[in-house]
Amino acid sequence: MIKRKKKGKRRPMSKIKWWKMKDEKLKDQFKEKVLAEIELKDDVEEWWNANAGTFLQTGEEIFGRTSGRDPPNDKETWWWNEEVVESIKLKKSAKKENYVNTTPENKERLKLASKAEASEEEAYEELYFVHYL
């Protein structure tokens, strides 16, 4: 019997919130500050080594950092209705079954379960069309 080495507890990793660059105001602030602090060099590698810290430091100042903790379990699934939950469960079980025992029947079951994802898309559209129209 082969024993697997136990993995240590995963440490949370804080990240810069680069997705906030979608906000035009923050994007312009970032651009102005970086352009003011950037150093020009002849060689690309020298340029990157001289300016990489500027990008990271400015990004952290303007966009902030995440806490590093995992998101809550229901963060992306709060809007799912019962039909969506059932279709996702069906797809997960079909995928597991196909992985364990790949047969034509299991492949077909997985195909049908993947088509059931349409209910997820419909629920998503319904949520946004109802609230924003």
Given this model, what pLDDT does residue 58 score?
Answer: 94
Instruction: Return the residue matching tokens 């129209």.
Output: 133
Residues in the chain with pLDDT values less than 50: 131-133
Distance CA 128, CA 66 (A): 27
Angle, in degrees to the nearest 10, between helices 44-63 and 24-37: 140
Given this model, what pLDDT does residue 126 score?
Answer: 67
8 Å CB contact between 51 and 39: yes
8 Å CB contact between 62 and 26: yes
8 Å CB contact between 34 and 60: no
Given this model, what pLDDT does residue 35 score?
Answer: 92
First to last CA, the chain: 61
pLDDT tens sequence across 87-115: 788 888 888 888 888 888 888 887 777 76
Amino acid identity at 113: A
Given this model, what pLDDT does residue 68 score?
Answer: 79
